Amino acid sequence: MKKCFISLAGLQRWLNVLIDTQKHLYAPVNKGAKVDFGRVASADEIVFDHIQTTQSAKSVAFPRTDVLFSYEKEKGKVQLENADLTAYPETVVFGLHPCDAAGFNPLGAIFNWDYKDELYNARMERTVVITLACTKADEYCFCTSVNGGPGNTVGSDIQLTPVKDGFLAEILTEKGEALVKADEAAFEADRGDVKEKYLVKLPEKFDIKTVQEKLQTAFESPIWKAQSQRCIGCGACAYVCPTCACFDIQEDAHGTKGKRLRCWDSCGFALFTLHTSGHNPRQTQAQRWRQRLLHKFSYMPDRLSVRGCTGCGRCSRACPVDMNIAEHLRSI
């Protein structure tokens, strides 16, 4: 790992160079009253002082709608054509927080646990992740409770920490180094800034070990029903989550031609598990809420050795009825 200093002007110059070299740069930008990721044409569009973007950066590798293959039928014969993975652009995603970068870990685990998902992997290969360590947090943030932190570098290729007059840059991977080379002059020698001094202090909200232990025996607990009462069963939490990976397969058919699509889905939807027979193994919202929590905090750690939560707090911010996940976990 290499440490450098970069001024804001230097950073913007470097990012503009990246844009000029045909890389797709995604970064937080203003979207109405909210801040969310968007493709930027110039570095000065980028927002730095946000606490959290509405959505996570997962769509850079797992878009909300993705073409798996296309087909054409003629008199009973079908021609298939797979998605052209080589056409995916070189991508830089900038300004995400450590919790988002950490999310690529569980996401990657899901897309590779038995079948290696070519689409996801191809996109990840072409993506460089530049995180911005957190100097602020709000009442929804709880990364420190799930083994993360405001300066956590897991999943980052480069991490920037806002310091006096600029940023402390940690070049963490080869991908990161290669990116720096686009405009090395923008980077200055490390000024010896102490990263921790600048990071937000975020107390733990619960003890994750205890929570996970309790969950092991909580399947039949009445708490699910009690907690989920106000849940209205939308998919907002899943869609903004950096680790939620459920998808649905749809077909965009036009006569004899069509495309097979992969679209986001959510275990919170009542129809998510509905069988054709009419049977639904998760009939109530309580069961679906239980599934969401157990999946993230029990099944994934058990099977994939990763936790399905990075403490970004997006689900709680996005929830129309204030299903605060940290509060719920604490109350188990």
Partner 1 sequence: MGRLGGALMSEFEPKIVAFVCNWCTYAGADLTGTSRIKYASNVKIVRFPCTGRIDFMLLLKAFAEGADGIIVSGCHPNDCHYTSGNFHARRRWVIFRGLLNFMGIDVNRIQFSWVSAAEGAKWADVVNGTVTTIRELGPYTEYRKAADYLVQQDKSIIDGQEALIKSVSSL
Partner 2 sequence: MSKIGVFICHCGENISATVDCERVAAEAGKMDGVEFATDYKYMCSDPGQTLIKNAIKEKGLTGVVVGACSPRMHEPTFRKACAEAGLNPYLCEMSNLREHCSWVHEKNEQTTEKAIDLVKMLVEKVKKNKPLNAIKVPITKKALVIGGGIAGIQAALDIANAGQQVIMVEKEPSIGGHMSQLSETFPTLDCSQCILTPRMVEVAQHPNITLYTYAELEHLDGFIGNFKATIRLKAKSVDYKLCTGCGACTTKCPNKKIPSEFNEGLGMRTAIYTPFPQAVPNKPVIDRANCTYYQKGKCKVCEKVCPTGAIQYDLPDQFITEDIGAVVIATGFNVLKTDFFPEYGYGKYADVLTGLQFERLASASGPTLGEIRRPSDGKVPKKIVFIACSGSRDPAKGIPYCSKICCMYTAKHAMLYQHKVHDGESYVFYMDIRAGGKNYEEFVRRAIEDDGVNYIRGRVARIYEKDGKYIVKGADTLLGSKPVEIEADMVVLATAGVSNPGAEELAQKMHVSYDAYKFFAEAHPKLKPVETNTAGIFLCGACQAPKDIPETVGMASGAAAKVIGLFSNNELTREPLIAVVNRSAPPVFSTCVGCFMCQTACPYNAIEREEIKGRDGSVIKTVAKVNPGLCQGCGTCVAFCRSKAIDIQGFSNEQMFAEVMALMNE
Partner 3 sequence: MEDVLIEKKPAIAGNSFSGELQKTANELLQSGEVELFIGYEEGTRFPRPCFIASTDEVGKLIFDDRCTGNLAVYLTRKDLIGDKKVGITASYFALRSILRLLTEHQIQLDKLVVLTVSAEKEVIRFATTDDITAYLQTAPIPVREDDKALIEKLNAMSREERWEFWSAELSKCFKCYACRAACPMCYCTKCIVEENRPQWIQPWASTLANIEWHINRAMHMTGRCADCGACGAACPLGLPIHLLSHQIVQEVTDNFALDVNQAVSGDNALSTFKPEDKENFIK
Contact residues for partner 3 (CB under 8 A)?
31-34, 36, 51, 54-55, 64-65, 135-141, 164, 197-202, 229-230, 232-236, 238-240, 248, 250, 252-253, 261, 263-264, 266, 269, 271, 283-286, 316-322, 324, 327
Q: Which of 84, 49, 47, 87 is nearest to 69 (CA)?
A: 84
Q: Is 28 exposed, middle or buried (0-12, 13-18, 19+ CB in 10 A)?
A: buried
The option from partner 1, partner 3, partner 2, none interacting with 211 (CB < 5 to 8 A, set by class) reads none
x-marked contacts with partner 2 along 282-321 as a string, rule CB under 8 A: -x--------------------------------------
Cα–Cα distances (Å) from 332 to 115, 257, 320, in that order, read: 34, 51, 22
Give, for 318, the enclosing helix (H) or strand (E): helix 314-318
Near partner 2 by CB under 8 A, which window of 31-39, 141-149, 251-259, 292-300? 251-259
The option from partner 3, partner 1, partner 2, none interacting with 243 (CB < 5 to 8 A, set by class) reads none
21 counts as binding partner 2 under rule CB under 8 A: no
CA distance 7 to 193: 13
55 counts as binding partner 1 under rule CB under 8 A: yes
Q: Considering only residues 254, 281, 305, 322, which one is a binding residue for partner 2 as defined by CB under 8 A?
A: 254
User: Strand 127-132 vs strand 91-96: parallel, antiparallel, or unpaired?
Assistant: parallel
Q: Considering only residues 6, 43, 57, 102, which one is a binding residue for partner 1 as defined by CB under 8 A?
A: 57
CA distance 66 to 92: 19
Minimum distance of partner 1 from residue 103's CB (angstroms): 14
Cα–Cα distances (Å) from 181 to 17, 148, 155, 160, in that order, read: 10, 29, 20, 16
**Closer residue to partner 3, CB minimum distance, 134 or 186:** 134
Q: How many residues bind partner 1 (CB under 8 A)?
A: 30
65 counts as binding partner 2 under rule CB under 8 A: no
Q: Which of 100, 116, 16, 113 is nearest to 60 (CA)?
A: 100
Angle, helices 118-125/98-112, rounded to nearest 10 degrees = 140
The option from partner 2, partner 1, partner 3, none interacting with 74 (CB < 5 to 8 A, set by class) reads partner 2
CA distance 154 to 129: 10
Binding site for partner 2 (CB under 8 A): 73-76, 254-256, 277-280, 283
